[in-house]
Amino acid sequence: MVVITCLSNVATQVGVGRILGGSKFHYPVGQPELPPEEELRWRVGLVEKGLAALETPVKEPKIF
């Protein structure tokens, strides 16, 4: 599992293995100030980082 969140300190404390920083806490995978196609491109980029994190073995909480 990878968690996309802006509260990485909480995720670390709880022991989440893979943590990816989100955009803002009230839209972790959004960029509303961008035009829609750019926002989608950005979101694909972030989710791709999440997938790469999923492929990375970890032993303790790691922020990607």
Partner 1 sequence: MPIPRRFTVRSGAPDYVRAADLLLAKIKGKPYESEIPQVEAKQHPIPNLTGNLKDATVALVTEGGLVPKGNPDRLESSRGSRYFKYAIEGREDLRQGEFEAMHTGYDTSTVDKDPDRIVPLDAMRLLEKSKRFKKLHDHYFVTTGTGAMPSKMEEIGAGIAEELIGSGVGAVILTAT
Least distance to partner 1, CB of residue 63, Å: 14
Query: How long a stretch of residues is the chain?
Result: 64
Which residue's CB is nearer to partner 1, number 43 or number 63?
43
25 lies in the binding site for partner 1 (CB under 8 A) = yes
Our finding on whether 9 is near partner 1 (CB under 8 A) is: no
CB 31, CB 43: distance < 8 Å:
yes
Give 19's strand partners.
Answer: 3, 63
Question: C-alpha distances in angstroms, 40 versus 9, 27, 61?
Answer: 27, 13, 28
- Is 35 an interacting residue with respect to partner 1 (CB under 8 A)? no
Judged by CB under 8 A, does residue 15 bind partner 1? yes
